Structure 1
Amino acid sequence: MTTRPYVLLSVATSVDGYIDDTGPDRLRLSNEADFDRVDQVRAESDAILIGATTLRRDDPRLLVKSARRRDEREARGLPPYPLKITITRSGDLDRDLKFWHHGGDKLIYCPDAAVPGLRARLGDLADVAGLGASLDLEGMLDDLGRRGVGRLMVEGGGTIHTQFLTAGLADEIHLAIAPFFLGDPDAPRFVNPGDFPSGPGNRMTLAEARTIGDIAFLRYLPKEKVT
Protein backbone atom coordinates (compact mmCIF):
# COMPACT_ATOMS: atom_id res chain seq x y z
CA MET A 1 0.00 0.00 0.00
CA THR A 2 1.21 3.51 -0.80
CA THR A 3 0.51 6.63 1.21
CA ARG A 4 -1.52 9.09 -0.82
CA PRO A 5 -0.54 12.76 -0.71
CA TYR A 6 -2.24 15.22 1.59
CA VAL A 7 -4.50 17.17 -0.82
CA LEU A 8 -4.93 20.92 -0.41
CA LEU A 9 -7.31 22.83 -2.68
CA SER A 10 -6.39 26.49 -3.16
CA VAL A 11 -8.79 28.99 -4.72
CA ALA A 12 -9.62 32.68 -4.83
CA THR A 13 -13.21 33.67 -5.59
CA SER A 14 -15.55 36.63 -5.70
CA VAL A 15 -18.13 36.86 -2.94
CA ASP A 16 -20.58 35.04 -5.21
CA GLY A 17 -18.17 32.18 -5.95
CA TYR A 18 -16.62 33.03 -9.33
CA ILE A 19 -12.94 32.33 -10.02
CA ASP A 20 -12.66 34.39 -13.22
CA ASP A 21 -14.72 36.47 -15.61
CA THR A 22 -15.30 35.89 -19.33
CA GLY A 23 -12.88 38.54 -20.57
CA PRO A 24 -9.59 37.85 -22.37
CA ASP A 25 -7.42 38.75 -19.36
CA ARG A 26 -7.15 36.90 -16.06
CA LEU A 27 -9.38 38.47 -13.39
CA ARG A 28 -7.33 39.69 -10.44
CA LEU A 29 -9.05 38.40 -7.28
CA SER A 30 -6.27 38.41 -4.66
CA ASN A 31 -4.03 41.22 -3.41
CA GLU A 32 -0.23 41.18 -3.17
CA ALA A 33 -0.21 39.89 0.41
CA ASP A 34 -2.46 36.99 -0.52
CA PHE A 35 -0.38 36.19 -3.60
CA ASP A 36 2.60 35.96 -1.24
CA ARG A 37 0.65 33.57 1.00
CA VAL A 38 -0.05 31.35 -2.04
CA ASP A 39 3.65 31.47 -2.93
CA GLN A 40 4.44 30.16 0.56
CA VAL A 41 1.93 27.32 0.18
CA ARG A 42 3.48 26.42 -3.17
CA ALA A 43 6.93 26.35 -1.60
CA GLU A 44 5.66 23.98 1.10
CA SER A 45 4.15 21.57 -1.46
CA ASP A 46 5.75 18.65 -3.25
CA ALA A 47 3.55 19.08 -6.32
CA ILE A 48 1.03 21.53 -7.80
CA LEU A 49 -1.86 20.37 -9.99
CA ILE A 50 -3.94 22.37 -12.45
CA GLY A 51 -6.63 21.18 -14.84
CA ALA A 52 -6.10 21.26 -18.59
CA THR A 53 -8.94 23.74 -19.22
CA THR A 54 -7.42 26.25 -16.81
CA LEU A 55 -3.98 25.56 -18.26
CA ARG A 56 -5.16 26.37 -21.77
CA ARG A 57 -7.20 29.42 -20.68
CA ASP A 58 -4.73 31.08 -18.29
CA ASP A 59 -1.37 29.74 -19.54
CA PRO A 60 0.19 30.00 -16.03
CA ARG A 61 3.80 29.27 -15.13
CA LEU A 62 2.93 28.06 -11.57
CA LEU A 63 6.25 29.02 -10.00
CA VAL A 64 7.57 29.65 -6.51
CA LYS A 65 8.42 33.30 -7.10
CA SER A 66 10.42 33.98 -3.94
CA ALA A 67 14.14 33.26 -4.37
CA ARG A 68 14.44 32.87 -0.60
CA ARG A 69 11.78 30.16 -0.57
CA ARG A 70 13.43 28.36 -3.49
CA ASP A 71 16.74 28.48 -1.61
CA GLU A 72 15.05 27.10 1.52
CA ARG A 73 13.64 24.20 -0.51
CA GLU A 74 17.10 23.39 -1.87
CA ALA A 75 18.57 23.59 1.64
CA ARG A 76 16.11 20.83 2.60
CA GLY A 77 17.33 18.69 -0.28
CA LEU A 78 14.34 19.47 -2.52
CA PRO A 79 14.28 20.87 -6.06
CA PRO A 80 13.70 24.65 -6.13
CA TYR A 81 10.26 24.19 -7.70
CA PRO A 82 7.56 21.63 -6.88
CA LEU A 83 6.57 19.08 -9.50
CA LYS A 84 3.96 20.62 -11.82
CA ILE A 85 1.05 18.39 -12.86
CA THR A 86 -1.85 18.68 -15.23
CA ILE A 87 -4.63 16.21 -15.95
CA THR A 88 -6.33 16.01 -19.33
CA ARG A 89 -9.01 13.83 -20.87
CA SER A 90 -8.48 14.84 -24.51
CA GLY A 91 -4.69 15.26 -24.58
CA ASP A 92 -5.14 18.56 -26.46
CA LEU A 93 -2.21 20.52 -24.97
CA ASP A 94 0.00 22.92 -26.93
CA ARG A 95 3.75 22.52 -26.49
CA ASP A 96 4.17 26.33 -26.54
CA LEU A 97 2.33 26.87 -23.23
CA LYS A 98 4.46 28.63 -20.58
CA PHE A 99 3.73 25.78 -18.16
CA TRP A 100 6.25 23.50 -19.92
CA HIS A 101 9.06 26.03 -20.23
CA HIS A 102 9.40 27.37 -16.69
CA GLY A 103 10.13 25.77 -13.34
CA GLY A 104 11.12 22.18 -12.70
CA ASP A 105 9.70 18.80 -13.69
CA LYS A 106 6.26 18.42 -15.30
CA LEU A 107 3.89 15.46 -15.28
CA ILE A 108 0.69 14.81 -17.26
CA TYR A 109 -2.01 12.31 -16.31
CA CYS A 110 -4.42 11.22 -19.02
CA PRO A 111 -6.36 8.17 -20.27
CA ASP A 112 -4.14 5.52 -21.82
CA ALA A 113 -5.48 6.31 -25.29
CA ALA A 114 -4.07 9.88 -25.12
CA VAL A 115 -0.56 8.85 -24.02
CA PRO A 116 1.08 8.24 -27.45
CA GLY A 117 -0.11 11.54 -28.92
CA LEU A 118 1.01 13.58 -25.91
CA ARG A 119 4.43 11.93 -25.83
CA ALA A 120 4.89 12.60 -29.54
CA ARG A 121 3.78 16.24 -29.22
CA LEU A 122 5.63 17.21 -26.04
CA GLY A 123 8.73 15.03 -26.21
CA ASP A 124 10.96 15.60 -23.18
CA LEU A 125 8.98 18.61 -21.93
CA ALA A 126 6.91 16.41 -19.59
CA ASP A 127 6.49 12.89 -18.30
CA VAL A 128 3.17 11.38 -19.45
CA ALA A 129 1.37 8.78 -17.32
CA GLY A 130 -1.77 6.86 -18.33
CA LEU A 131 -4.59 6.27 -15.85
CA GLY A 132 -6.39 3.51 -17.71
CA ALA A 133 -9.56 4.01 -19.70
CA SER A 134 -10.61 7.16 -17.80
CA LEU A 135 -9.29 9.80 -15.40
CA ASP A 136 -9.07 7.94 -12.11
CA LEU A 137 -8.18 10.48 -9.39
CA GLU A 138 -7.67 7.81 -6.76
CA GLY A 139 -5.29 5.97 -9.07
CA MET A 140 -3.50 9.26 -9.72
CA LEU A 141 -3.06 9.89 -5.98
CA ASP A 142 -1.75 6.35 -5.52
CA ASP A 143 0.78 6.94 -8.29
CA LEU A 144 1.85 10.28 -6.80
CA GLY A 145 2.37 8.54 -3.46
CA ARG A 146 4.65 6.03 -5.16
CA ARG A 147 6.55 8.96 -6.68
CA GLY A 148 7.17 10.38 -3.21
CA VAL A 149 4.68 13.24 -3.31
CA GLY A 150 3.52 13.87 0.25
CA ARG A 151 1.67 17.16 -0.20
CA LEU A 152 -0.33 18.06 -3.31
CA MET A 153 -1.60 21.59 -3.92
CA VAL A 154 -4.54 21.77 -6.35
CA GLU A 155 -5.07 25.18 -7.96
CA GLY A 156 -8.09 24.45 -10.12
CA GLY A 157 -10.15 25.04 -12.05
CA GLY A 158 -13.75 24.35 -11.17
CA THR A 159 -14.01 20.93 -12.78
CA ILE A 160 -10.93 19.63 -10.96
CA HIS A 161 -12.03 21.09 -7.62
CA THR A 162 -15.47 19.54 -8.06
CA GLN A 163 -14.00 16.13 -8.83
CA PHE A 164 -11.77 16.13 -5.76
CA LEU A 165 -14.54 17.36 -3.46
CA THR A 166 -17.32 15.09 -4.68
CA ALA A 167 -14.96 12.10 -4.40
CA GLY A 168 -14.05 13.06 -0.83
CA LEU A 169 -10.37 13.35 -1.72
CA ALA A 170 -9.62 16.85 -0.39
CA ASP A 171 -7.99 17.15 3.03
CA GLU A 172 -7.91 20.94 3.22
CA ILE A 173 -9.41 23.95 1.40
CA HIS A 174 -7.83 27.40 1.25
CA LEU A 175 -10.53 29.86 0.20
CA ALA A 176 -9.62 33.51 -0.42
CA ILE A 177 -12.69 35.71 -0.96
CA ALA A 178 -12.37 39.00 -2.82
CA PRO A 179 -14.66 41.86 -1.70
CA PHE A 180 -16.84 42.12 -4.80
CA PHE A 181 -19.58 40.37 -6.75
CA LEU A 182 -19.22 39.25 -10.36
CA GLY A 183 -22.71 38.06 -11.25
CA ASP A 184 -21.86 36.61 -14.68
CA PRO A 185 -23.67 33.29 -15.23
CA ASP A 186 -21.21 32.34 -17.99
CA ALA A 187 -18.10 32.82 -15.85
CA PRO A 188 -16.31 29.84 -14.23
CA ARG A 189 -17.06 29.04 -10.60
CA PHE A 190 -15.10 27.46 -7.74
CA VAL A 191 -17.19 24.29 -8.05
CA ASN A 192 -19.81 22.94 -10.42
CA PRO A 193 -23.05 21.16 -9.41
CA GLY A 194 -22.36 17.81 -7.79
CA ASP A 195 -23.03 15.40 -4.96
CA PHE A 196 -20.76 16.73 -2.23
CA PRO A 197 -20.11 14.71 0.96
CA SER A 198 -19.83 18.01 2.86
CA GLY A 199 -23.48 19.03 2.59
CA PRO A 200 -25.78 20.85 5.02
CA GLY A 201 -25.99 17.82 7.27
CA ASN A 202 -22.25 17.17 7.24
CA ARG A 203 -20.58 20.49 7.95
CA MET A 204 -16.84 20.96 7.51
CA THR A 205 -14.53 22.23 10.24
CA LEU A 206 -13.45 25.86 9.87
CA ALA A 207 -9.83 25.70 11.05
CA GLU A 208 -8.87 29.31 10.40
CA ALA A 209 -10.46 32.63 9.45
CA ARG A 210 -8.54 35.90 9.04
CA THR A 211 -8.25 38.98 6.89
CA ILE A 212 -5.39 39.59 4.48
CA GLY A 213 -5.86 43.23 3.56
CA ASP A 214 -9.28 43.32 1.90
CA ILE A 215 -9.32 39.53 1.38
CA ALA A 216 -11.18 37.14 3.70
CA PHE A 217 -9.13 33.95 4.07
CA LEU A 218 -10.87 30.75 5.24
CA ARG A 219 -9.25 27.37 5.84
CA TYR A 220 -11.60 24.37 5.92
CA LEU A 221 -10.92 20.73 6.78
CA PRO A 222 -13.52 18.68 4.84
CA LYS A 223 -12.68 15.37 6.51
CA GLU A 224 -12.98 16.78 10.03
CA LYS A 225 -16.69 17.29 10.61
CA VAL A 226 -18.45 19.55 13.06
CA THR A 227 -20.19 17.46 15.73
Structure 2
Amino acid sequence: MPRPESIPRPRLPRLCANFAITADGKISTRNRTPSLFTSPADKRRLLEIRAQQDAVLVGAATVDADQMTLGLPAADLRKARTARGQPAAPLRVLLTNSGRIDPDARLFRVGGAPLIVASTRRMPRAVQAALVGRADLLLFDGTALPLRKLLEVLAARYGVRCAVCEGGPRLLRALLAEDLIDTLHLTLAPRIFGGQLAPTLCGTPALPLPTSRAAKLESMEIAGGEAFLRYRLTRHRTTRTAPRKP
Protein backbone atom coordinates (compact mmCIF):
# COMPACT_ATOMS: atom_id res chain seq x y z
CA MET A 1 0.00 0.00 0.00
CA PRO A 2 1.46 3.40 -0.92
CA ARG A 3 2.29 5.85 1.81
CA PRO A 4 -0.28 8.70 2.01
CA GLU A 5 2.45 11.17 1.10
CA SER A 6 3.08 9.38 -2.23
CA ILE A 7 -0.45 9.80 -3.60
CA PRO A 8 -0.80 12.44 -6.39
CA ARG A 9 -2.02 15.81 -5.08
CA PRO A 10 -5.55 16.62 -6.25
CA ARG A 11 -7.64 19.61 -5.42
CA LEU A 12 -9.15 19.64 -1.95
CA PRO A 13 -12.71 18.63 -1.06
CA ARG A 14 -15.14 21.32 -0.05
CA LEU A 15 -15.26 21.27 3.73
CA CYS A 16 -17.98 22.53 6.04
CA ALA A 17 -18.19 22.42 9.82
CA ASN A 18 -21.31 21.79 11.88
CA PHE A 19 -21.37 22.80 15.55
CA ALA A 20 -23.86 23.78 18.25
CA ILE A 21 -23.15 26.49 20.81
CA THR A 22 -24.91 27.96 23.83
CA ALA A 23 -26.02 31.57 24.10
CA ASP A 24 -22.67 32.36 25.73
CA GLY A 25 -20.71 30.67 22.96
CA LYS A 26 -19.83 27.35 24.60
CA ILE A 27 -19.90 23.97 22.87
CA SER A 28 -19.71 21.99 26.12
CA THR A 29 -19.23 22.37 29.86
CA ARG A 30 -15.84 22.69 31.54
CA ASN A 31 -15.97 18.92 32.14
CA ARG A 32 -16.49 18.22 28.41
CA THR A 33 -19.84 16.55 28.99
CA PRO A 34 -21.64 15.10 25.94
CA SER A 35 -23.35 17.55 23.59
CA LEU A 36 -26.96 16.92 24.59
CA PHE A 37 -28.19 20.49 24.99
CA THR A 38 -29.92 20.95 21.62
CA SER A 39 -33.35 19.91 20.38
CA PRO A 40 -34.42 16.93 18.26
CA ALA A 41 -34.76 19.42 15.38
CA ASP A 42 -31.07 20.25 15.63
CA LYS A 43 -30.11 16.59 15.75
CA ARG A 44 -32.18 16.01 12.61
CA ARG A 45 -30.44 18.96 10.97
CA LEU A 46 -27.08 17.42 11.86
CA LEU A 47 -28.08 14.23 10.05
CA GLU A 48 -29.37 16.16 7.03
CA ILE A 49 -26.06 18.00 6.70
CA ARG A 50 -24.14 14.76 7.23
CA ALA A 51 -26.23 13.06 4.54
CA GLN A 52 -25.10 15.62 1.96
CA GLN A 53 -21.42 14.74 2.39
CA ASP A 54 -19.02 12.14 1.08
CA ALA A 55 -17.26 11.95 4.45
CA VAL A 56 -17.66 13.04 8.07
CA LEU A 57 -14.54 14.04 10.04
CA VAL A 58 -14.37 14.00 13.83
CA GLY A 59 -11.55 14.15 16.36
CA ALA A 60 -11.00 11.17 18.64
CA ALA A 61 -11.71 13.06 21.88
CA THR A 62 -15.14 14.15 20.61
CA VAL A 63 -16.03 10.65 19.44
CA ASP A 64 -15.06 9.35 22.88
CA ALA A 65 -16.94 12.04 24.84
CA ASP A 66 -20.14 11.79 22.80
CA GLN A 67 -19.92 8.05 22.07
CA MET A 68 -20.43 8.83 18.39
CA THR A 69 -20.78 6.18 15.69
CA LEU A 70 -20.92 8.71 12.82
CA GLY A 71 -23.67 6.76 11.11
CA LEU A 72 -26.82 7.82 9.29
CA PRO A 73 -29.73 6.22 11.19
CA ALA A 74 -32.51 8.05 9.31
CA ALA A 75 -33.87 5.64 6.69
CA ASP A 76 -35.23 8.42 4.48
CA LEU A 77 -31.81 10.07 4.28
CA ARG A 78 -30.12 6.78 3.42
CA LYS A 79 -32.73 6.14 0.73
CA ALA A 80 -32.22 9.62 -0.73
CA ARG A 81 -28.47 9.02 -0.91
CA THR A 82 -28.81 5.72 -2.74
CA ALA A 83 -31.31 7.33 -5.13
CA ARG A 84 -28.58 9.86 -5.97
CA GLY A 85 -26.16 7.03 -6.68
CA GLN A 86 -24.23 7.51 -3.42
CA PRO A 87 -23.44 4.93 -0.74
CA ALA A 88 -26.11 4.74 1.95
CA ALA A 89 -23.92 6.70 4.39
CA PRO A 90 -20.80 8.87 4.15
CA LEU A 91 -17.33 7.64 4.97
CA ARG A 92 -16.41 7.94 8.64
CA VAL A 93 -13.03 9.53 9.36
CA LEU A 94 -11.53 9.54 12.86
CA LEU A 95 -8.61 11.91 13.43
CA THR A 96 -6.04 11.49 16.20
CA ASN A 97 -2.56 12.96 16.49
CA SER A 98 -1.29 10.56 19.14
CA GLY A 99 -3.07 7.46 17.92
CA ARG A 100 -3.86 6.49 21.50
CA ILE A 101 -7.41 5.32 20.92
CA ASP A 102 -9.44 2.37 22.13
CA PRO A 103 -9.86 -0.17 19.30
CA ASP A 104 -12.82 -1.63 21.19
CA ALA A 105 -14.68 1.69 21.37
CA ARG A 106 -18.29 1.77 20.22
CA LEU A 107 -17.31 3.35 16.92
CA PHE A 108 -15.40 0.21 15.96
CA ARG A 109 -18.06 -2.21 17.19
CA VAL A 110 -21.05 -0.73 15.38
CA GLY A 111 -21.46 -1.49 11.71
CA GLY A 112 -21.88 1.23 9.14
CA ALA A 113 -20.03 3.03 6.39
CA PRO A 114 -16.32 2.33 5.86
CA LEU A 115 -14.16 3.73 8.65
CA ILE A 116 -10.86 5.54 8.18
CA VAL A 117 -8.47 6.33 11.03
CA ALA A 118 -6.00 9.12 10.28
CA SER A 119 -3.07 9.49 12.64
CA THR A 120 0.68 9.92 12.85
CA ARG A 121 3.36 7.29 13.18
CA ARG A 122 3.18 7.94 16.92
CA MET A 123 0.25 5.51 17.01
CA PRO A 124 1.22 2.55 19.22
CA ARG A 125 1.95 -0.65 17.34
CA ALA A 126 -0.63 -2.51 19.40
CA VAL A 127 -3.35 -0.09 18.30
CA GLN A 128 -2.27 -0.39 14.67
CA ALA A 129 -2.50 -4.16 14.87
CA ALA A 130 -5.89 -4.06 16.57
CA LEU A 131 -7.35 -1.86 13.82
CA VAL A 132 -6.53 -4.31 11.04
CA GLY A 133 -9.82 -5.36 9.46
CA ARG A 134 -11.74 -2.69 11.37
CA ALA A 135 -10.61 0.46 9.60
CA ASP A 136 -8.37 1.82 6.88
CA LEU A 137 -5.33 3.30 8.57
CA LEU A 138 -3.64 6.43 7.23
CA LEU A 139 -0.40 7.24 9.04
CA PHE A 140 1.58 10.42 8.41
CA ASP A 141 5.02 11.57 9.48
CA GLY A 142 5.35 14.24 12.16
CA THR A 143 3.74 14.79 15.53
CA ALA A 144 0.49 16.32 14.26
CA LEU A 145 -1.73 15.40 11.34
CA PRO A 146 -1.05 17.41 8.16
CA LEU A 147 -4.68 18.30 7.59
CA ARG A 148 -4.32 19.65 4.07
CA LYS A 149 -2.48 16.51 3.01
CA LEU A 150 -5.12 14.34 4.67
CA LEU A 151 -7.85 16.07 2.66
CA GLU A 152 -5.83 15.51 -0.50
CA VAL A 153 -5.57 11.80 0.31
CA LEU A 154 -9.30 11.56 0.97
CA ALA A 155 -9.98 13.14 -2.42
CA ALA A 156 -7.44 11.06 -4.35
CA ARG A 157 -7.92 7.66 -2.76
CA TYR A 158 -11.56 7.75 -1.69
CA GLY A 159 -13.13 10.21 -4.13
CA VAL A 160 -14.23 12.62 -1.40
CA ARG A 161 -15.52 15.85 -2.96
CA CYS A 162 -17.29 17.30 0.08
CA ALA A 163 -17.01 16.60 3.80
CA VAL A 164 -18.19 17.88 7.17
CA CYS A 165 -16.24 18.36 10.39
CA GLU A 166 -18.42 17.69 13.44
CA GLY A 167 -15.88 18.21 16.21
CA GLY A 168 -14.10 18.92 18.28
CA PRO A 169 -12.84 22.44 18.97
CA ARG A 170 -9.14 21.64 18.56
CA LEU A 171 -9.77 20.09 15.17
CA LEU A 172 -11.89 23.04 14.06
CA ARG A 173 -9.23 25.46 15.25
CA ALA A 174 -6.58 23.60 13.27
CA LEU A 175 -8.72 23.53 10.13
CA LEU A 176 -9.49 27.24 10.43
CA ALA A 177 -5.84 28.07 11.03
CA GLU A 178 -4.99 26.34 7.75
CA ASP A 179 -7.85 28.06 5.89
CA LEU A 180 -9.55 24.76 5.07
CA ILE A 181 -13.16 25.49 6.08
CA ASP A 182 -15.58 26.80 3.44
CA THR A 183 -18.87 26.87 5.35
CA LEU A 184 -19.87 26.91 9.02
CA HIS A 185 -23.26 25.57 10.11
CA LEU A 186 -24.01 26.80 13.60
CA THR A 187 -26.89 26.07 15.96
CA LEU A 188 -27.41 28.67 18.69
CA ALA A 189 -29.15 27.00 21.63
CA PRO A 190 -31.00 28.77 24.49
CA ARG A 191 -28.63 27.59 27.22
CA ILE A 192 -25.85 29.26 29.22
CA PHE A 193 -22.93 27.24 30.59
CA GLY A 194 -20.52 29.96 31.71
CA GLY A 195 -16.97 29.44 32.86
CA GLN A 196 -13.63 30.34 31.36
CA LEU A 197 -12.66 26.68 31.02
CA ALA A 198 -15.77 25.64 29.09
CA PRO A 199 -14.66 25.27 25.45
CA THR A 200 -15.81 27.54 22.66
CA LEU A 201 -15.81 26.69 18.95
CA CYS A 202 -12.02 26.77 18.85
CA GLY A 203 -11.24 25.59 22.35
CA THR A 204 -10.34 27.65 25.42
CA PRO A 205 -8.85 31.18 25.59
CA ALA A 206 -5.40 29.63 25.96
CA LEU A 207 -5.50 28.57 22.29
CA PRO A 208 -6.58 31.51 20.14
CA LEU A 209 -6.50 31.39 16.36
CA PRO A 210 -3.28 32.76 14.81
CA THR A 211 -5.43 35.34 12.99
CA SER A 212 -9.13 36.12 13.12
CA ARG A 213 -11.39 34.76 10.39
CA ALA A 214 -14.11 36.69 8.59
CA ALA A 215 -17.44 35.10 7.67
CA LYS A 216 -20.60 36.15 5.87
CA LEU A 217 -24.01 35.12 7.19
CA GLU A 218 -25.84 33.39 4.33
CA SER A 219 -28.98 32.15 6.05
CA MET A 220 -30.74 32.04 9.41
CA GLU A 221 -33.76 30.06 10.56
CA ILE A 222 -35.37 30.32 13.99
CA ALA A 223 -37.35 27.36 15.29
CA GLY A 224 -38.23 26.14 18.76
CA GLY A 225 -36.04 28.68 20.51
CA GLU A 226 -32.95 27.78 18.48
CA ALA A 227 -31.31 29.68 15.64
CA PHE A 228 -29.83 27.74 12.75
CA LEU A 229 -27.13 29.78 11.04
CA ARG A 230 -25.02 29.21 7.96
CA TYR A 231 -21.87 31.24 7.35
CA ARG A 232 -19.61 31.35 4.31
CA LEU A 233 -16.02 31.86 5.42
CA THR A 234 -13.81 34.28 3.56
CA ARG A 235 -11.30 32.19 1.65
CA HIS A 236 -7.87 32.94 0.27
CA ARG A 237 -7.78 30.06 -2.23
CA THR A 238 -10.06 28.74 -4.93
CA THR A 239 -8.72 25.18 -5.21
CA ARG A 240 -11.97 23.32 -4.76
CA THR A 241 -13.39 20.54 -6.92
CA ALA A 242 -17.15 20.69 -6.52
CA PRO A 243 -19.71 23.47 -6.71
CA ARG A 244 -21.12 24.46 -3.36
CA LYS A 245 -24.19 22.44 -2.43
CA PRO A 246 -27.33 24.30 -1.38
Calculate the TM-score normalised by the size of structure 1: 0.90
CA distance in 1 between counterparts of 2:167 and 2:35 reads 14
After superposition, what is the alpha-carbon deviation per residue over 1:136-162, rounded to whole angstroms, capped at 9, x for unaligned? 001011111102001111001110010
Contact 1:91 1:117 in 2 (8 A): no
2:215 is equivalent to residue 204 of structure 1:
yes
Shift of 1:104: 1.2
Tell me which moved more, 203-212 or 106-115.
Answer: 106-115
Selected match of 1:110 from 113, 119, 142? 119
Shift of 1:77: 2.5
Which secondary structure state, in structure 1, belongs to the residue aligned with residue 20 of structure 2? strand
Change (3 A) 1:31 1:67: same
Q: Give 2:37's aligned amino acid.
A: L
The runs of 5 or more residues in structure 1 that have no matched partner are: none
CA distance in 2 between counterparts of 1:111 and 1:23 reads 27
Alignment correspondent of 1:173: 184
Matches within 5 A, 1:106-185: 106-114=115-123, 116-133=125-142, 134-146=144-156, 147-185=158-196
2:89 is equivalent to residue 81 of structure 1:
yes
What is the percent sequence identity of the aligned residues?
29
Alignment correspondent of 1:216: 227
After superposition, what is the alpha-carbon deviation per residue over 1:8-32, rounded to whole angstroms, capped at 9, x for unaligned? 0000011112111245852422211
Tell me which moved more, 22-31 or 144-153.
Answer: 22-31
Change (3 A) 1:10 1:48: same
Tell me which moved more, 25-34 or 211-220.
Answer: 25-34
| Root mean square deviation, CA, Å | 1.9
Tell me which moved more, 69-78 or 42-51.
Answer: 69-78
Calculate the TM-score normalised by the size of structure 2: 0.83
Contact 2:99 2:122 in 1 (8 A): no
Across the two proteins, how many residue pairs are aligned to each other? Answer: 221
Tell me which moved more, 189-198 or 124-133.
Answer: 189-198
Which secondary structure state, in structure 2, belongs to the residue aligned with residue 124 of structure 1? coil
Change (3 A) 1:224 1:119: closer
Alignment correspondent of 2:80: 72
After superposition, what is the alpha-carbon deviation per residue over 1:76-128, rounded to whole angstroms, capped at 9, x for unaligned? 22221110011111111112212122321100111134274432022211111
Contact 1:204 1:224 in 2 (8 A): no
CA distance in 2 between counterparts of 1:97 and 1:111 reads 19
Alignment correspondent of 2:19: 11
Runs of 4+ in 1 over 3 A off after TM superposition: 22-25, 115-118
The runs of 5 or more residues in structure 2 that have no matched partner are: 1-8, 237-246
Alignment correspondent of 1:26: 34
